[in-house]
Amino acid sequence: MKKEIQLRDLGFLDYQTVWDLQHDLFQQTIDTKIYNRRNQTTKPTQNYLLLVEHAPVITLGKSGLADHLLTSKAELESQGISFFKIDRGGDITYHGPGQIVGYPILDLDHFFTDIHKYLRFLEQVIIDTLADFDIEATRSKGETGVWLDIDTPFARKICAMGIRASRWVTMHGFSLNINTDLTHFTHIVPCGIHGKQVTSMASELNTVVSIEEVKKRIIYHFQKQFEATLTK
């Protein structure tokens, strides 16, 4: 029997609103698991996949270095870019228009209790999605995310990832650059990795890409990879 995941396409929303929603769903799931354990009950938990485009924002993960932010917060604010220090793993990244951000809030007890495997599954969803648009992507050993031309001097990242997990419940996730304004990445050391560039689907294909079409392929491959049914 396939697992069920509730799909929420949030459209275009500011970072704080979605962060609050994530925390609410994440905590509800954890609270249900704690209740079940204490009371020896089996109240079901719900899985979610949130898809969203954000207004320009830079986020610094809990293990990120402050000096990976190359622009003052005052200057960012003057350019309409927000800044948040948050509770995910990973270093520093940028979210903005033209980028699909995916936040899976999954109870991994429904799937498998292996965070390493979970990250590899997320990477595979994006690798398979990019292949549908004739972009050959891969992993980089020791560097979470999805890359192009990794073993060449032209290695560049097209999708960043960073998660948080507690009691096998996940939050945060991935951000895939589609028609993203890549100049905003000059404000940071992307993911804290020096000497490697970032790219987008539009840059690789030399054309604007339909975000709705990319969403459809992400949803398809997410269902396939996790052997799940996504319902709106």
Per residue in 2-51, pLDDT (tens digit) is 699 999 999 999 999 999 999 999 999 999 999 998 999 989 999 999 99
- What pLDDT shows up at residue 101? 98
- What pLDDT shows up at residue 229? 95
pLDDT at 135 over 80: yes
DSSP per position, 110-152: GT-S-HHHHHHHHHHHHHHHHHTTT---EEETTEEEEEESTTS
Residues serving a catalytic function are 191
pLDDT at 187 over 90: no
Q: What is the pLDDT of residues 47-76, one digit of tens each?
A: 999 999 999 999 988 877 778 888 888 888
Report the pLDDT averaged over residues 146-156: 93
Q: Which of 133, 96, 107 is nearest to 215 (CA)?
A: 133
- Which has more confidence, 78 or 191? 78
- What pLDDT shows up at residue 194? 60
Architecture (CATH level 2) of domain 3-231:
2-Layer Sandwich (3.30)
% the chain with pLDDT above 90: 75
pLDDT at 118 over 60: yes
Locate 221 and state its tokens: 């491959």
CB count, 10 Å around CB of 55?
A: 15
Q: Give CA–CA dist 50/18, Å, rounded.
A: 9
Report the pLDDT averaged over residues 147-159: 93
- What pLDDT shows up at residue 151? 87
Q: pLDDT class for 193, splitting at 50, 70, 90? A: low
- What pLDDT shows up at residue 2? 65
What is the value of pTM for the model shown? 0.93
Give domain limits for the chain: 3-231
Mean residue pLDDT across the chain = 93
Q: Which of 205, 184, 188 is nearest to 196 (CA)?
A: 188
pLDDT at 1 over 60: no
- What pLDDT shows up at residue 117? 97
Locate 181 and state its tokens: 């304004």
